[in-house]
Amino acid sequence: MRLALQAHYLFAYLKDLLPGGGQGLPIQVACRRPGFDKEASQLPQISSRDTISRQWELLHKLPTKGPGITSGELLEKMRDTGYRITKRTVERDLIELSRVFPLTCNDRGKPFGWHWAPGASIDLPGMSVSEALSLTLIEDTIRPLLPNGMLKALQGRFQHARKKLENMADENLAARWMSKVASVRPELNLQAPSISAEILETIQLALLEERQIACRYYSAHGNKTSELTLNPLALVQRGVATYLIGTADHYSDLRQYAVHRFLNVEILPAACEGAAQFDLPHYLASDALQFGGPQKISLQAWVSESLARLLRETPLAEDMALQACEGGYRLTATVSDSWQLNWWMLSQGDGLVVEQPVELRHKLLETLRGTLQRYERATA
């Protein structure tokens, strides 16, 4: 009887989440057996979507063994998940659910602790509010990083997560969290480059299978197209662009290849070289994605008071120091000598003047002189 009641309860939960009220689900047919209506009459009254979702969430929060969790502790967990309920509601739900599911209350001493019965199968279908919120938050971020086959497998869960939050928004505070938070890029909001879905899928498959690729690649720096054989080692999302990290055949130096610049890609039978030795966290820690060498420099610069205030909040490096000087502050920091650093310094305008290294000072000075000359010619 209990198994039949669980099946009926499961269908009641699922039918509110699926188009057409779950028509066509095998469970719907399975529940309609002789004598089932009489058994189902003993079921808790699960008449609303809110009650069903709340009780299903409660089941997810129960521990698998004793001493269990008290109704007061469950109340706090449910409130953290956005449910505005009372301790009495939790207690009533637990009693009702214990008639359907193998739940145990440790009543040997107060406070009583609830948990799943020993040996109970607790592989619950469905999705908690926390899971739905997490999936919705990460969906856009992981799309370019997951192999297409895996992404397709997750598509249903992404849709389920969005639907669950939408359906529960009126009654659950946590379900409305997506309307209260956002992640934006600090730089100019450039549009994401167009990436061929077929090319991205081929690169992901080669990366997954650790095989070489033959490709035609456009180099924006050299303004030319090249035929290359590459060893794909990693995919990295940097802002709006996705980069393939790899080595060219017969070379060992690591390069970044913008995925949107691949014109065609073919997977080769040959195994990828260097995959076992490549360490992605170590590579990223070297600031390689700042587009510079691994070497560090000791930067010294004059900065304005307003820039100094910002740098105190978000330091340029762990060892950054600011010392008051005439008209502003003297900045010292150990940083990577990279294109990203140069771009940042130039973007500060007259709020920053490099003093050391001398070579960097001269390089920026030449860039600024060239910029000034172009402005003057344009206005002449």
Flag whether pLDDT at 23 surpasses 60: no
CATH of domain 53-116: 1.10.10
Cβ proximity of 329 and 322 under 8 Å: yes
Q: What is the CATH number of domain 197-286?
A: 2.30.30
Residue predicted with more confidence, 1 or 153: 153
Could you check whether the bond before residue 281 is cis, i.e. omega within 30 degrees of 0?
A: no
* CA 231/CA 247 separation, integer angstroms: 5
Place of tokens 């999705």: 127
Amino acid at 187: E
> For residues 246 and 213, what is the distance between their CA atoms, to the nearest angstrom?
10
For position 49, what pLDDT does the model report?
64
* DSSP helix, strand, coil percent of the chain (3-state; round to 5): 45, 25, 30
In angstroms, the Cα distances linking 340 to 104, 189, 292, 337 are 59, 16, 8, 8
Between 285 and 113, residue with greater pLDDT: 113
Which pLDDT score, from 0 to 100, does residue 40 have?
43
Closest-CA residue to 58 (of 40, 37, 41, 80): 80
Distance of CA 307 to the CA centre of its chain: 31
Dist CA 36 CA 7 (whole Å): 11
Residues 171-212 have pLDDT tens digits of 788 888 888 887 777 666 677 788 898 999 999 999 989 999
